[in-house]
Structures are given as structure tokens and as C-alpha cells.
Structure 1
Amino acid sequence: MIPRSKILIVDDELSMRMQLELMLNNQDYEITLIGSGKEALEKLAEITPDLIILDLIMPDLDGFEVCRRIKRNSQFQHIPIILVTVLESKKALTQGIEAGADDFLQKPVSKLELRARVRSMLRIKKQYDELQATLHMREELSNMVVHDMSSPIISVLLHATLMEEKITDTALLKNLEMIRMAADRLDSFVNDMLMLAKMEHRSLRLNPSMVNINQLILDAEKHFSIIAHSKGISLKLSLPEPSLEMSVDSNLFRRVIANLLANALQYSPANTTIRLSLSARCMNNNKSHLCMQIIDQGPGIPEKYRHRIFEKFEVVDLKRKGIPQIGLGLTFCKMAVDAHGGKIFVKPNHPQGSIFVVEI
């Protein structure tokens, strides 16, 4: 059985609410009548309507303000809103559009026009719901595939390690080392995808503890110095003394460091230098705050794209435009840093390159 579309009618005049309900009779809708904008906002989650018909002139909160509040809420902003008004001015129409209204009806309301507008808005809402369901199913499938990739990657890494212990030929060892590093990088990518999925579903919990940040960076340097050497790139560190210790999720922050270094190495040309600097500062709360910078001499990122490279849904479009130094690894970094209450951004490294900055 197909569920009936739910319509919320909000108007401070009882006669108007009943008139609109009567006009929609025999249309197989589930209709709820509410007499104020304040009450509508309070009961929105309980009603979960597919469409809101909203009076503009009301004593407590007018239709503009109710519309603005609904559209600011990510849980409800997709619900179509039809504003009903006696006002005829272009100014009211402009205000309604700015508030986020999807359609308008002029009082006195025509029955045929009301039914047509309602059908149109419900059709749009249905298409939106179907698209969201498809995207959710695709995302679930992607997460399943990524999860299933973990086992074969771990197997490659394990067997590569076992072979390294038995092979003595220098050339073979070098090739095997490249295989292991490639598998290790793929494993990092898969882990990032899984963590992103958990973050988006709010199932990832931070496990903070006092961590030696200097040591996390030194551990990462041991791994990435091999890759840097093979590409003819110099990797230099600048760390504070004494070592900086602060409360972070060590696993997440280790991945942030690894992703930013891998990103810099991937796009840096030979005979250049990548610098990782860490500094500590004490704020008014007497707690240590860190500032980490990864400085490269790669192609750099144009200014107009710098605010977009950390967003998941921008990656495909930016790759199509040929913008370097982007990928889901940066999206993971932003989500991990945000989870710690910090911020991450990129700025230019003059005369060439990028500076990725993490502040927590």
C-alpha cells in the first residue's frame, strides 16, 4: 500500500485552515492543521510532512521567519513550502524567495490552482525522496565493497613482508618494496573510506588520550622518507623541544599526518623539498594548541578552489577541471580535524607550492 502524502497547513485563522483542507478533500492526503508558526516548528519532527502550506501574516512568527527557520534546518530544508499571502507587492515575493519558499498562492485561493500547486510540489518531493533512497543504497553498496577490499589488501601486505625476509636479490627487493608501499597506500585509502562512512553516520567516536605529537610525526617520517628518497624529494622536519603532548585520537591524527604527507609527495616534482613543521602555543586556557604545516613546492592550488578541496562532493568536479592535490584523503582530514574541534586550510607557498595548515 502506497503511503499517503502528508500536508501541514499553518494559518492563524481557523476558517482559512478549514477552507484549505476542504479544497484538498478527496485527494487522498493526510492533512494536519496548525494555528501558529511557533507550534508548527515545535511539531515539525513529529509530523514530518511532505509539504507545508504556510500563511504569511501570523501574529507570533510570520511566514517569512518560519520559512527561514525550516530551510536552515538540514533535517527539514528539503520539505517544499507554499506561502499563502494577501500581499501583492514584488517586495513580499522577493522576501519569500530569499526565505526559501518554493511556491506562492494569492488569497483568495483558487481551488484548482491550489490542487495543481500541491500536486506539483508533492511530485518534486517524491523525486527528491527517490533520489535520496538511490544515493543511500549506492553509498551502502560502496561501503560494502570498500570493506570487502580490506582482506585481500592485508593479504598482499602480509605476503610481501614474508617475501622480503627470504629474498636477497637487491633488484627484486626494491621491486617488492614498491609493491608493498603501493599496497600500503591502497590500504590507507580503504581505511579513509571506511572512517568517512562512520563519521557521516556519526558512528565514529573519538578515543582521545595524551599523545606525543612529535613521535607521531617521526613515525610517519620513517615510512615516507623511503618514498621521498625514491622520488628524489627531500623531506625535512621542524619539531618543537620539548616534545608537544596533547589529547587527541592518536589513530585519527596519525592518518591526518600520513594523508597530508602522501598528498604532498604525490604532487611534488623531483629535486624539491617538503617541510613539515610543528609548533605549540599556549592560549588563555593554559592548554597546549598545535599548529602543523606541510609545505611543498608542487603545482599549488588556485585561490578560487582552496575552500572547496576538502569537500567530498567537490572532488569529482575539481578533478574534472584538472585541479591537483585533491582527493577523499583531504575530506577525511577535514572531518577528523573538525571532530577534534580544530580547523584545516590551505594557503599558497611562494613562489610555488601549497601550505596545508592544521590547527587544534
Structure 2
Amino acid sequence: MPSKYKILIVDDEPLNVELLSVYLGDTYDIVTSYNGEDALKKVQNECPDLILLDVMMPDMNGYDVCRTIRNDFKIDFIPIIMVTALTGRADHQKGIEAGADEFLKKPIGKFELDKKITSLLRIKKQHDSLLTEKNKAYHYLDYVGVLVAVLDIDYRITHINKKGSDFLGYNSDKLIGREWVESFIPKDSVNAILKHYGGLVSGLIEPYGYCEFPVIISNGEERLFRWYDSPLLDDSGNATGILISGEDITEIKKAEKQLQEYAVQLERSNDLKDLFTDVMRHDLLNPAGLIKSFVELLVEIESDDYKKRLLGNVNDATEKLIAMIDDAAHLAKLESVDDISFVKVDIHSILAGTVDGFMHQIKDKNMNVKVRMENECNAVGNPMIERVFVNLLSNSIKYSPRGSTITIEVADIGDKWKISFTDQGDGVPNASKSSVFERFKRLHKEDIRGTGVGLAIVKRIMDLHKETIAVDDNPEGQGSVFWLTLKKDS
């Protein structure tokens, strides 16, 4: 920022220019002009911080100069004060329409002039500072390793970040306005992705859900991307487009295939499990954490509500990605453990904390959670049993309809406690009851996208406890009862 602000004074009367220069010369750097055409050249060459613009000038009046600066030069943030002897309402309206920020009536008093200039320059300084910080933050986001783009309701690209342009192999100006599905989706995937986008827009598919679709890049190669998409809604809740964010997982998929082949050769050795866990935690979790940090930075400095909503969508999708990576890494770690230690655990306290931790989701779905148990229910277990309760309650909330009831009950069955989670969801078909706890098995795939790791983690923890975990039908109607046993603390 220069030591002095630069002010351009434009008036065809030299005496007026001289008077204003005397008023302002000690405080500001002064640039002068005596006609509209010359003023426009000075705007481009001198880059003034503020313009004092006379209205009544020959050839090109002040309205025309102001309109050219705003529309043709596309300079929105140079404050323009129109200096005029005209006081009619229509004249002021004409100045506003041309893009003027303030008006001063001739003859001009020094006090009023100083007051208006100081006010407008303060606003400009704040705007320039915000713009600098925003551009810096967007620069960071551009280099995060995820494609982020906005599609309008006709699936045309209205915005794409630099990384997305790099992924696709085009300059951004070659991408804006292009129809996404027609231009970049292979023909054999078009119907599936149109169904996916249609479900997002109509609300039939939950936002931020994980899915995989290929795209065609500039050299004609197909690359597989993992997507976390969300509809964009206006203030009335109507869809205005879709926010898509994806990462190229082509090489990851190739690596996964190689790992699978290697796993068969090594018969699922613990060495491979440790390697996989390290990949999950370091090669995937760290970049996801960086994305979240940059997005949180953007949210803090962004003042535009629409952009804040877009950034909020990206942040929500990133949080879900981190949770999925953490679940998968946690399961891999559990599978490498054979023995665990046992202590006295307070079931009452753990369940109370679990329900309290989900209270936001419970209220959001207008659900009711009932807990039936004795005040003291102590068991023999490992502290990781809390993860079992968390996953089972999360599962019940996720798959149960709005306004339904979830019942958690701890029953005395002799030397053990039986803890059950009863929901009013769609239930689990008999054919799936034996496999629902297997890794990557998940029901309702058409409605809710996820990894299916949560119940696998539950099963592994219960196996380490040498206790039972199972699912039955809700005896009182629609839904399921997930239940487990724990030994009492004697």
C-alpha cells in the first residue's frame, strides 16, 4: 500500500480542478484530467484509489465516464464521487445507475469533501484487504489435490478449481459453460450418472454420498474418480445445481488390485495389514486433513453467503471422507490384534455419553431415543466397547425414518448383560442377517452410500471380547434389534 492514496480529479473547469487540488494536495497524491476521454486513460494508466468526477463536461459527460469504468473497464471497486450542480432526483438516479458511489453539490466545502473521501477510502481499504486474503485462500484451494466444480441445473460447468482443470487437461476458460455429462462422461456411464444427479436434485439420494464414476480427460483416456456430490439449494430449498468434488483414484484402484493379489499370496499376513493401515492413515488421511484445514480457512474469511454454503458443502464432504478413512484404518488395526485387556466398565455411563453425543442428529431427524436400564450396570470389558455402542446407535439413526423411536435396553440374563438397540427402520432380511457384520456388506445401497465398515468394527470388537453380537427382527413391528452380551462384573 503506498504512503498516500491517489485521487483522480476530473473537471473541464481548470479553476475547479485547482481548488480541489489545493484542498487535497497535502494529504493525497493528485492526478488531474479535464475531459472524459483523458480521464479514462488516466484511470487505466494511474490506477487511482478514488475519482472525483464532474458531471457536466463536453463530448463525454460524467455519467458516460462512470458507466464506462464500471461496465467496459469492469472496475467495480474504485469509489466514484460525482461532483455536480444538478440536484434533481432524476439526476441522482441517473448517477446511481451509472455506478456512482456518492454525490457532492457544487460549490464544495472542504469539510464535507474530506468526510466523504475518508469514508469511501476506508471502505475500499477493507475491501482490498478482504479481496487479497480471499484470493490467497482460493490460491491454496486451487492446489489441493481434489477436483471441485459447480454444475448448473442443466449440468453445465459454472466454476472449476485449478486442480480440476489440471486433472481434465484443459484451461479453465475451455471448461466453463461446457455440458459436463455430454463432454466428460463415457457413454456407458451416462445413464447411471444422470440417475445419480437426478436423485441428488430430487432429494432421493443423500448428499455427500460416496460413488465412483469415470471421466474422459483431454487425451481421450478414461480415469476413475471417487465423488462426493451435493445439490445446491436456493433460499427456498429449490435445487439450482450440483457441487461435485472428486479425486482421481485410477492409480489407487490399480494399487488396490495389486495389493489384493499380494494379499492372496501372503494369505492376508499381518505385515500387509500394517502396510494398508499406514497407507490409510498417512497417504489418505493427511491430505484429507489438509483439505479440511484450507476449507475452514476459506469459511472464516469469506463474506459471501452463497460461497459460504458451497464451502460448507465441501467441508461436510471432507469430514465424511476423514471419518471413512479413520473407520477403515481402525478396522485394519483391530484385525491385527489378537488379545485385549479387560477392566470394569460402567455401561450406564457409556450409553448416556453415547446418546448425548448423537443428540444433534437425533433432534435433526425429530427422533426419540428411549433408554431402559438399571442405574448400575457394570460389566467386564475393554474401553473400546464404547465404539460398539456408538456404531450401533449411529446405524439405527442413519437407517430409521424421521420421527421414529429407537429403544436401548440393558437386560439382566443371569451372569451377563444383554444390550439391545431396537429401531423402526426397514429391517434386515433373513438372507442378510448372517452377512450384515461382514466387511463392506451394507444394505439399502440405493438409498445410502457408505463403506459398510461400521458393523464390521462392531463384530471384530465383540469377537475380541469373546461375546455375542447378532440381529433379530423387531418383535413389536417394523425394524431390527441389534443386540450383544457382556459379562457382569462380579
Q: TM-score, normalised by structure 1?
A: 0.50
Larger radius of gyration: 2
Q: Which has the higher helix share?
A: 1
- When normalised by structure 2's length, the TM-score is 0.38
RCO (CA 8 Å, sep 6+): is it higher in 1 or 2?
Answer: 1
